[in-house]
A and B are shown apart, each in its own frame.
Chain A
Amino acid sequence: MARTGRKILQSIIESIKDLLPIIIVVGFFQIFVIQKPLDDLLLILEGLLLIILGLTFFVFGLKIGFFPAGENLAYNFVERASLSWLLIFGFALGFGVTIAEPDLIVISAEVAKAIQESQIIDSTDEARKSFQNMFRSIIAFCVGISVILGVLKILKNWSTHSIIIILYLLVILLTPLAPEYIIGIAYDSGGVTTSAITVPLIVAIGVGLASSIRGRNPLVDGFGLIAIASVVPIIGILIFGIFL
């Protein structure tokens, strides 16, 4: 019991350590640059407490739930040697998680609004909604493809950097062909696909696969999936922009 108590205390201290830099930076700017008093100190303290508690719960849950579940699933797939199911699983995971991502819903709405204000699409609600759904589906599809590519990379022992360099070349080649307004959006769309829920699971599956296949090193072969998932959507949106 005392050990559990100490562990909890330790992880709370970890969370405070994670949060401290933000408090210092925001405090510094508030006091020395903006020089306006904060409205409600009590509310802020309460918020900070929630953040610390939240991080502690999150890390605890990762360690006992998400990581073992992802790794276990990877072991079982390798044991059963069912490549096609593994790839279907990879695609379903990438697509399903991304399409439901609240961050992406917000961002795709903002993008659709900005696109509409620039009169690139019709000013009707329908046109905006359909653009928004299209945008989300393309990104989700690209993340699904990325997970497939990442799983194949581990199975076939492809090197991560060759895949990424090829993807970078595609980005560079497609950028000059795409309309200017889509470029910033496309480049940013790579970064929004990696949420706090997707990342732990994808990493756990990558590391799980790499550790259950003989001759693979979890550090060398298990990582790289997220990197792929943050470049492929750029390519997807650039192509979408070219045909828009």
Chain B
Amino acid sequence: MSEIIKIAHDMLISIAPVVGIIFFFQFVILKKSFPDNKKIFIGIVSVWIGLTLFVIGLEQTLFPIGKLMAYELTSKEFISSHVFPWSEYFWIYLFAILIGISTTLAEPSLLAVSIKAEESSGGFVKSWPLRIAVAIGVGLGLLVGVIRIIYGLPILYFFVTGYLIIIILVYLSPKEIIPLAFDSGGVTTSTVTVPLIAALGIGLSYSIDGKDILVDGFGLIAFASLFPIIAVMGYIQIVKIINKISK
């Protein structure tokens, strides 16, 4: 019970400043009321209840199981129990890809962006394909991030390469889609994804010898925000090609 109150309280603390700032500017500075005050109020309370239930559910199911899984897969016993040298990290790689894809599809922030994107593009951008493209991006990003941790490569190389690919894609993609693609990268790592990614990164840097948590344990989240940008622009390229062929 105290756990529930704590989560509800945490959520309230993160909603309160948002609501406070909106109300202050709306009522005190602009001196206007909303078109429908009651509806707005119900909506805000409903977001609060929704996020509270969501996080309670996560803490009860996905977080303990997922974190345990990340630690077990990265434990020395598990890694060294494999016969073939190439297969020692196989399950970690697969886990990184699949957990990236599946958690992203349930990410509330991405849901919010995709709803708005579908609305404001007049249906040209569809919510599901957009989210699937972003999810694949997160999965691939985590895979590359995990490979980086295992082989201890400097993060800057990957980011310079990633940024260059993005800059090239910017010039190839239709202008309308670029801001959305960039936003998709920023929203992927939030409520559901971050705790699991953190467990994976820290578990890995503990179990591989010679790894420094500061240098190697952090950085996974950054990969999970870089690759979706590439994935969304890539998805648009594919849609363009399909449209061309079908014409």
Contacts and interface: CB of A to CB of B under 8 A. Distances in A.
Nearest to B15: A197
Given A92-B21, A223-B183, A47 B58 contact: yes
B44 A21 contact: no
Interface in A123-181: 160-161, 164-165, 168, 171-172, 175-176, 180-181
Interface in A112-126: 114-115, 118
A218 B58 CA distance: 34
A80 B219 CA distance: 43
Contact of A226 (B16, B35, B186, B221): B186
B55 A100 contact: no
Contact of A218 (B62, B120, B221): B120
Which bracket fits the contact residues of B?
Answer: 35 or more
Interface string B168-181: 00100001111110
B108 interface: yes
A192 B95 contact: no
Contacts of A67: 116
A206 B222 CA distance: 24
A200 B60 CA distance: 26
A70 interface: yes
Nearest to B104: A21
Chain A contact residues: helix, strand, loop or mixed = helix
B247 interface: no
Interface string B192-222: 1010000000000000000011111111111
Contacts of A187: 155, 159, 218-219, 221-222
B69 A172 contact: no
A119 to B, nearest CB: 11
Interface string A58-73: 1111111111111011
A190 B179 CA distance: 17
Contacts of A61: 42-50
Given A168-B163, A190-B222, A203-B113, A227 B186 contact: yes
A191 B229 CA distance: 13
A203 B53 CA distance: 23
A55 interface: yes
Contacts of A227: 179, 182-183, 185-186, 229
Contact of A196 (B98, B108, B124): B108
Contacts of B244: none
A196 B190 contact: yes
Interface string A36-58: 00100001101111111111111
A118 B45 CA distance: 43
Contact of B215 (A53, A99, A180): A180
Nearest to A64: B43
B222 A191 contact: yes
Contact of B69 (A34, A60, A217, A226): A34
Contact of B60 (A34, A43, A222): A43
Contacts of B112: 62, 66, 196, 199-200, 203
A25 B58 contact: no
A54 B22 contact: no
A192 B221 contact: yes
Contact of B53 (A29, A57, A176, A188): A57
A30 interface: yes
B143 interface: no
Interface of A: 18-19, 21-22, 24-26, 28-30, 33-34, 38, 43-44, 46-70, 72-73, 76-77, 80, 85, 89, 92-93, 96-97, 99-103, 111, 114-115, 118, 160-161, 164-165, 168, 171-172, 175-176, 180-181, 183-185, 187-188, 190-192, 194-201, 203-204, 207, 211, 217-227, 229-230, 234
Interface pairs A-B: 9 shortest CB-CB: A65-B43, A54-B54, A57-B50, A58-B50, A184-B218, A61-B46, A50-B57, A227-B182, A54-B53
Given A34-B73, A72-B26, A114-B213, 11 more contacts: A29-B98, A49-B57, A51-B62, A51-B106, A59-B111, A66-B43, A100-B16, A187-B159, A195-B191, A221-B179, A222-B120
10 contacts: A59-B115, A60-B50, A65-B39, A103-B191, A114-B217, A160-B182, A172-B159, A195-B191, A201-B22, A219-B180
